[in-house]
Amino acid sequence: MAYDVQKPLQSTVNSLAELELRVRDDLACLCYPAANWVAPTVSEPQVHDVVVIGGGMCGLVAGFALRVAGIANIRIFDRNRAGMEGPWITYARMETLRSPKQLTGPAYGMASLTFRAYFTARFGNDSWVALDKIPRPMWMEYLCWYRKVLDLPVENSVEVKTIEPEGELMRLTLCGDGARESSVLARKVVMATGRDGLGRPSIPGFVNDLPRKYWAHSSHDIDFEALRGKRIVVVGVGASAVDNAAEALEAGAAEVRHLIRRKEMPRINKLMGIGSFGFTAAFPKLSDARRWQIMNYSLRTQTPAPRGSTMRVSRHPNAYFHFDTAVEKVKLDHDEILIETSQGEALRADFMILGTGFGVDPLARKELDGYADKILLWHDRFTPPPGEENADLGKFPYLANDFTFLEREPGQAPWLANIYSFNSGAAASLGKVSGDIPGISEGAAWLSREIAAKLYAESFEQHWQRLLAYDTPELRGDEWTASPLPDGAQTIALKQA
């Protein structure tokens, strides 16, 4: 039977307090969380079984999945203060999420944990029907509620500076106002670090000589009020570029000009057209050539900015879209930015915003200093056919099927098998299951299962001894009485033989 995602439900939940009781009841019925089964590390009693880096959406659902799997000895660190995790109320500047409101996201198979349940508990079913897309700040409110109702142990204002091997364990050095110690030991480390979690903002070289006060990347903290009356150039036309252009226009910029290399506006979100459980399940099992083919095509066609975000810009008469106009050179001319373009014309501006996205590059991650160059990348493993080259895609890590890094040269960095890339860097190897809303629960279930398997295998002897030592009887011995065979039974048996 199909259900209408718009149809009002006869819900008995009329407040968040009632919904939270329902969540707790659901958890109890499902026996969540499971009892901890992981054998402790004998040599180092203060070792954590798993440390999750990042308390945003990826880190929260990863933490929940680990607890569901009976892995209780975990810690979750986030460098931001509480309520500021992830991009949602920092550098994300869209009015609403792109994802359809009915997607279950991090709910992990529980209806009571969905955004729909949260929203209807607050505003009612009629408001759900009227809702078009999820307001961005409300998604952050939902994630804060998700963390609270599941009592997830996120420690805020704790930054992980380095991840280094120490014997069979990993030593994480910490800093920040929330850090209770200078370092911790862990058996496994999950980098649930989101969109820029395995790289950095893509900064084109043409701003290298431009003083920093004249430009910003879309992920930077931008004082939009200071742009009032200014001429703004935005490089790019993806979602982040468009959202930042809208912010500048609404703050009173004199004009905003998009400089766009493409000859026309991207209009189709290709991967949305093939999203399915089958695609999620099959992607990591496809050949390298097939995975490259899909990812390269997606990157080349580019995901368009949402319709609402684009119209938020175009409704301003002082907004301009210049296609087939690449930036070739930028310099400062007195107090103006002089921009030379591929059209042979130069533009003058007061400030430049780079909507150039993020690049995946393990070498850019300070946490991995000293051995990032030992990580196997796609360009080490796969040579694309002529015409399918993509240098950016080639920098993605070539991951094992459990989200861990592989060594470029076997034996050089075996500890990489203890670090899990549960972030956007996993997309080329395993699909979009560790960064985007649609597949995040499937990815977390997959991650927790693989971590559980490794933890069990690594402590097999302790589990074997538990099996040998287990002596709790189910039967007491008084449940039966031994009976002799009836007369003639032995004779009959011998004759039959």
Model confidence at 270: pLDDT above 90: no
Question: pLDDT for 365-407, tens place per residue?
Answer: 889 999 999 999 999 999 999 999 999 999 999 999 999 999 9
Interior angle at CA 268, CA 266 and CA 423, nearest 5: 90
| Predicted pLDDT of residue 221 | 94
Question: pLDDT for 330-356, tens place per residue?
Answer: 999 999 999 999 998 899 999 999 999
Model confidence at 24: pLDDT above 80: yes
| Predicted pLDDT of residue 272 | 80
Class of residue 60 by CB neighbours under 10 A (exposed 0-12, middle 13-18, buried 19+): buried
| Predicted pLDDT of residue 14 | 83
Question: pLDDT for 139-187, tens place per residue?
Answer: 999 999 999 999 999 999 999 999 999 999 999 999 999 999 999 999 9
Tell me where in the chain the CATH 3.50.50.60 domain(s) lie. Answer: 32-99+134-199+360-458, 203-267+304-356
Residue from 49, 128, 57, 118 nearest 88 by CA: 57
What are the structure tokens assigned to 344, written together?
Answer: 């042979």
Q: What mean pLDDT is predicted for residues 476-480?
A: 93
Measure the CA–CA gap between 189 and 169, rounded to whole angstroms. 10
**Exposure string over 196-222, b if 16+ CB within 10 A, otherwise e:** bbbbbbbeeebbeeeeeebbbbbbeeb
Cβ-contact 158, 367 below 8 angstroms: no
Please state which of the four CATH numbers 3.40.50.300, 3.40.640.10, 3.30.2130.10, 3.50.50.60 is assigned to the domain occupying 32-99+134-199+360-458.
3.50.50.60
Query: pLDDT above 90 covers what percent of the chain?
Result: 86
Question: pLDDT for 406-432, tens place per residue?
Answer: 999 999 999 999 999 999 999 999 999
Q: Which superfamily, per CATH, for 203-267+304-356? A: FAD/NAD(P)-binding domain (3.50.50.60)
Task: Provide the greatest CA pair distance for the chain.
Answer: 116
Query: pLDDT above 70 covers what percent of the chain?
Result: 95
Model confidence at 495: pLDDT above 60: no
**Exposure string over 146-175, b if 16+ CB within 10 A, otherwise e:** bbebbebebbbbbbbbbbbbeeebbebbbe
Class of residue 402 by CB neighbours under 10 A (exposed 0-12, middle 13-18, buried 19+): middle
| Predicted pLDDT of residue 494 | 53
Q: What mean pLDDT is predicted for residues 312-330?
A: 97
Its sign, for the CA torsion 122, 243, 310, 266, is: negative
Measure the CA–CA gap between 151 and 132, rounded to whole angstroms. 30
| Predicted pLDDT of residue 1 | 45
What are the structure tokens assigned to 197, written together?
Answer: 């979690």
